[in-house]
């Protein structure tokens, strides 16, 4: 995530755009293609599954993916991790 934010022209704008448009917009270059999201999903499976279960417990997990499952969960994990990071930074 840090690399994506740094590669963007402004990290603050990166997070604003991510929260407004999401990964589905294609703004996260490393998560555009299904092959990329599948690799990301496999590499981060444990963390993604932990996040998915947490969101289900909080009853905020979207019911149906709008794309293939690996892509959906990879984008969800990236966006939610970014949201948590920004909340943590703002809290300090």
The pLDDT, as a whole number, for residue 27 is: 93
Each residue's pLDDT tens digit, 30-88: 999 999 999 999 999 999 999 989 988 888 877 667 678 899 999 999 999 999 989 88
Give yes or no for residue 7 having a pLDDT over 90: no
Helix 34-43 × helix 45-57 angle, to 10°: 90
Statement: residue 25 has pLDDT above 70: yes
**Contact (Cβ atoms closer than 8 angstroms) between residue 55 and residue 41:** no
The DSSP secondary-structure symbol of 61 reads S
What is the dihedral angle through the alpha carbons of 10, 3, 23, 39, rounded to the nearest 10 degrees?
170
Closest CA to 30 of 19, 18, 20, 13: 18
Tokens 């690996």, residue located? 70
């Amino acid at each position: 995530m840090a690399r994506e934010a740094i590669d963007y022209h402004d990290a603050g704008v990166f997070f604003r755009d991510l929260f407004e448009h999401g990964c589905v917009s294609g703004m996260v270059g490393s998560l555009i293609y299904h092959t990329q999201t599948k690799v990301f999903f496999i590499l981060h499976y444990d963390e993604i599954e932990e996040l998915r279960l947490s969101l289900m417990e909080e009853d905020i997990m979207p019911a149906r993916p709008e794309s293939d499952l690996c892509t959906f969960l990879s984008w969800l994990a990236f966006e939610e991790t970014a949201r948590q990071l920004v909340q943590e930074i703002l809290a300090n």
